[in-house]
Amino acid sequence: MTGKQRSFLEISEENHSKLVEYIVRLRAAGLKLPGRQGKVNKTAISRACGFVRETFQQNPRFAATLEAAVQEMGIDVPEAEEPEPRNTADRAAIMRLEQQLAALRSENYELRRRLRRYEAIADHIAGTGRRVAP
């Protein structure tokens, strides 16, 4: 291994600097921290900073810095479109149609299998002039 190996403390300090720089950039742009489901999105922040998400649980300094930034800047939670609720009649109709589709696919498979067999018999009769024994 060439070069000087860095200590965990140096790596931690570097990662914390990246986190602080990220927060400063967001603040300067007038943006909030990314959020998801009403909470701060630690995964997005850790990816942007270049370290693993678990750092926020393992290092209290990172958690404290993030919590202070959340209190100061807030969280930007994207508005998610809520799916339209389906009633039970729709679900029953969908299930019935899926069952019909499965039955028709099975029938289609069997008919194609028979067709291939009959085509092979017809080719044999045409080529040899003899009937195929059952």
**pLDDT attached to residue 1:** 46
Q: Do strands 75-76 and 39-40 pair parallel, antiparallel, or not at all (unpaired)?
A: unpaired
Per-residue pLDDT averaged across 5-12, rounded? 87
Single pTM value for the model: 0.55
Q: 58-81: per-residue pLDDT in tens? A: 999 999 999 999 898 888 776 655
The candidate with the shortest Cα–Cα distance to 61, out of 116, 125, 9, 16, is 16
Q: 33-56: per-residue pLDDT in tens? A: 888 888 889 999 999 999 999 999
> Two tokens at 10?
């140096």
